[in-house]
Amino acid sequence: MAAETAPDIPAGDPKHAVRATRTAGRKIRSVLLDAASRLFRERGLSGTSIADIAAGADAFPSQITYYFRTKEALFVEAACRDMLYLARATEQAALRAGTPRDYTRALVESVTASDAVAFFAEALTLTRRRQDLAPLVERTIERLHAEGLRAYASKIERHGWRSLREPDVTSRRFWAVAIGIMVEGYAMGRSSEALCAEMLRVLGEQATPASDAARLRLVGEAATQSRPEDQS
């Protein structure tokens, strides 16, 4: 219950009008999250203190406890935010891919080039022991899957690709494999290139191109020789 109650007002609270305070609040939160993310990704949870983050954001430690209450809550919020940023960047990176293979490769290269998944996995591990932080993690995973599904479904529809599984499963599978491969690979100090190769290998094909789908139909149904190649 305490999580919803406002803590002590930090020293020097400007007491502007509500709207101004909210805008300023959002700005400060964002600056604190940026500094936290940078330090946590570099040094991990136990290697980073609230004082380090305050110094990195040119803020007071009391502002961190005012906006986030605990270092662990800040860790999880920063990791969830970065994970959703990564998911969007990954979709962008794959927008132009013209074949299922190029599409999967673009997604995997984007995901393995960043440590955002490893950061998020650390937040997930932490949340196991801190179930008060689970609702934010749950919302993040729901958004991750919903946005992944939307992007994938629109991509295969636009190109006329045939998904090898239900699109919903494809998107969940993508992130589960990403988390598994990154948690393993980071422990062994693997390079981005090695992570990318391993993830591509484990993921396998996600869809077949329009031409293959047509060919499969030809074999199965002895249909006419039409090939709806890449309509985008």
Helix (H, G, I), strand (E, B) or coil at 162: strand
Binding string, 53-92, against its own copies, x = CB under 8 A?
A: ----------------------------------------
Nearest to 42 by CA among 102, 119, 132: 119
Report the alpha-carbon distance of residue 80 to residue 64 in Å, rounded: 17
Q: How far is the CB of 213 from its own copies (least distance, A)?
A: 18
Report the alpha-carbon distance of residue 73 to residue 133 in Å, rounded: 7
Does position 44 interact with its own copies (CB under 8 A)? The reply is yes
Does position 175 interact with its own copies (CB under 8 A)? The reply is yes
Which one, 20 or 176, has the nearer CB to its own copies? 176
Which residues lie closer than 8 Å to 20 by C-beta, 6 or more apart?
none
Does position 189 interact with its own copies (CB under 8 A)? The reply is yes
Work out which of 7, 25, 98, 204 binds its own copies, going by CB under 8 A: 204
| Number of residues counted as binding its own copies (CB under 8 A) | 39
Helix (H, G, I), strand (E, B) or coil at 208: strand
Which alpha helices (H) appear in 95-165, and where do they start and end? 100-112, 116-129, 134-159
Does position 202 interact with its own copies (CB under 8 A)? The reply is yes
Token couple for 152? 């994938």
Does position 138 interact with its own copies (CB under 8 A)? The reply is yes
Query: What residues line the site for its own copies (CB under 8 A)?
Result: 43-44, 46-47, 118, 121-125, 127-129, 131, 134, 137-138, 141, 165, 169, 172-173, 175-181, 183-184, 186-189, 198, 201-202, 204
